[in-house]
Structure 1
Amino acid sequence: MTELLDPRNDFVFKRIFGSEENKDVLLAFLNHTFVEAGEPPLTEIVLLNPYTEKDAPYDKQSIFDIWAKTAEGKLINVEMQLFNKYDNEKRTLYYWGKRYSNQLQEGQTYRALKKCVTINILNFSFLPNDRYHSVFHLREDHTLIPLIDDIEVHFIELPKLDDRAVSMEGGLVNWLLFLKGANKSNWEVLAMNEPTLKKAMTTLEFLSQDAEARRLYEARQKYLHDETSMIEGAKTEGKTQGILEGKTQAKTEVAKNMLSMGLDIQLIVKATGLTEEEIHALKPM
């Protein structure tokens, strides 16, 4: 039996949810997401960047987010994040802001700006709460009145989802369990009341058996792993550099204090590990 590809891989995710032939799959997923957040379902969406064969899994220019627009002009961005790239709050607001501001053409007024919704599906825990689905808006702190409804950010954290939380009525939970890699033996239960979820499962099975799709998937996995390793390496290097700089600063302060006490240079060298030249440079002019 062919091993299934991981639907959390953003290349595979976009093939399942971001292609024209599976636009109904995306619409069903979005509606479950919005209904769970207490919002009305959508009736229609337009894909702004559908998956094409030109989407190379190792090309930095390829966009594996899904961009869509509703019949009313609302813009929706869906991103699957397999690994933590850190600074998620600022990263989210930065890309949300670009999407929002790029709507305006020369000569248009601010009134032309439409609501932008960002949906981040995370394969890691991020927020300090137990909710797997958190939704943010721009509201006043005390009265909770909205300033404007144009900003809406969802964080869906897959690790916070109980693997046993199968809903017999269907709903967002079953879609997320599918994305999380629920055992295939449970697929029938997950898709019992979800015909479009069944279509997503069939698409994943097809991709998993396609040699070219598997090759591109593995290339994307390698790219994502390498990118994460570089980020982790940079963080570790930065921490090490910070520690070294902190130790040097501490030695410098000790040396300055010892100089002010008129102590011998050689004694200061032994006490701090600084060179004579470094200590002489610390003497007041």
Structure 2
Amino acid sequence: IEMQVLNVLGFEKRVLYNAAKAFSIQLSVGEDYNLLNPVIALTITDFEMFASSSKVISRYCLKEKEDLTDYTNDIELVFVELPKFKKELDQLETITDKWLYFLKCANTLRSVPPSMGEVSAINKAFDIAKQSKLTKRELEALEKREIFIHDSQNAILKARQEGMREKAIAIARELLDVLDVETISQKTGLSITDIQNLN
């Protein structure tokens, strides 16, 4: 089980690597392969990993490429993308809904809502979370970490935007000899002033 706050480069490969490693280290040299137990790698993310899908929970396993038959069920990757879970407290229907709500909102809950209290494991998880209240110093460290993560995400976004702008400028330079400024502006998203300044 892994909880991940920040989508870092190579994260998808790390999940697969850790699952394969957990599967392979079960045996010592010479032991029978039938002793291998299945591995389910559960990854809970505080960001969207699969933008093309609206599913909160995604499951991946080994399949034949054309007819999609299962190879074995020995390695399964399960991803839970918390930002995609949009249900409010009064909309929770299943145990899965209640757990997802708890995982997403645990830090804001002062007590277990009655509708979720029916699940004894959620009560136990809430008690554990309550007992592990952080000291002032730990809270400050956590806040600094959250600020760092937020700043890192913004830095990545800014770098992407700057990269896109640089690409648009390079394209505009190539088009200056063949198109008028207005058309280049429409095609690249750059302002007319920006394009005129390239001359």
TM range (shorter): 0.5 to 0.7
For 1:161-180, list aligned pairs within 5 A. 161=85, 162-163=87-88, 164-167=90-93, 171-180=95-104
Separation in structure 2 between the aligned mates of residue 248 and residue 254 of structure 1, nearest angstrom = 10
How many residue pairs match? The answer is: 175
Superimposed CA distance per residue, residues 184-222 of structure 1 (whole angstroms, 9 cap, x where no aligned partner)? 45533313222x322321233334463233123212212
Aligned partners of 1:207 and 1:214 also within 8 Å: no
2:13 alignment partner in structure 1? 93
1:122 to 32, 42, 45: 45
**Aligned partner of 1:128: which letter?**
S
Task: Check 1:107–1:192 CA distance in 2 against 1; reply closer, same or farther (3 A cut).
Answer: closer
How far the C-alpha of 1:154 sits from its partner, in A, is 1.4
Separation in structure 1 between the aligned mates of residue 36 and residue 162 of structure 2, nearest angstrom = 42
For 1:1-285, list aligned pairs within 5 A. 78-83=1-6, 85=7, 91-97=11-17, 100-101=20-21, 103=24, 111=33, 115-125=38-48, 126-161=50-85, 162-163=87-88, 164-167=90-93, 171-181=95-105, 183-184=109-110, 187-194=113-120, 196-208=121-133, 210-251=135-176, 254=178
The normalised TM-score by structure 1 is: 0.49
How far the C-alpha of 1:177 sits from its partner, in A, is 0.6
SS in 2 for 1:147: coil
Separation in structure 2 between the aligned mates of residue 243 and residue 113 of structure 1, nearest angstrom = 53
Once the two structures are overlaid, the 10-residue window that deviates more, 152-161 or 116-125, is 116-125
SS in 2 for 1:145: coil
Aligned partners of 1:174 and 1:191 also within 8 Å: no
Task: Check 1:94–1:242 CA distance in 2 against 1; reply closer, same or farther (3 A cut).
Answer: farther
**Aligned partner of 2:2: which letter?**
E
More helix by share: 2
**Aligned partner of 2:56: which letter?**
Y
How far the C-alpha of 1:98 sits from its partner, in A, is 5.4
How far the C-alpha of 1:115 sits from its partner, in A, is 4.7
Separation in structure 1 between the aligned mates of residue 28 and residue 118 of structure 2, nearest angstrom = 50
SS in 1 for 2:76: strand
Where structure 1 has 5 or more consecutive residues not aligned to the other structure, the ranges are: 1-77, 256-270, 275-285
Separation in structure 2 between the aligned mates of residue 166 and residue 273 of structure 1, nearest angstrom = 56
How far the C-alpha of 1:86 sits from its partner, in A, is 6.7
Superimposed CA distance per residue, residues 146-185 of structure 1 (whole angstroms, 9 cap, x where no aligned partner)? 1243432212122333223334xx7232121112116545
How far the C-alpha of 1:116 sits from its partner, in A, is 4.2
Greater Rg over alpha carbons, structure: 1
Identity %: 21
Separation in structure 2 between the aligned mates of residue 254 and residue 113 of structure 1, nearest angstrom = 65
SS in 2 for 1:149: coil
Task: Check 1:138–1:81 CA distance in 2 against 1; reply closer, same or farther (3 A cut).
Answer: same
Aligned partners of 1:254 and 1:272 also within 8 Å: no
The normalised TM-score by structure 2 is: 0.66
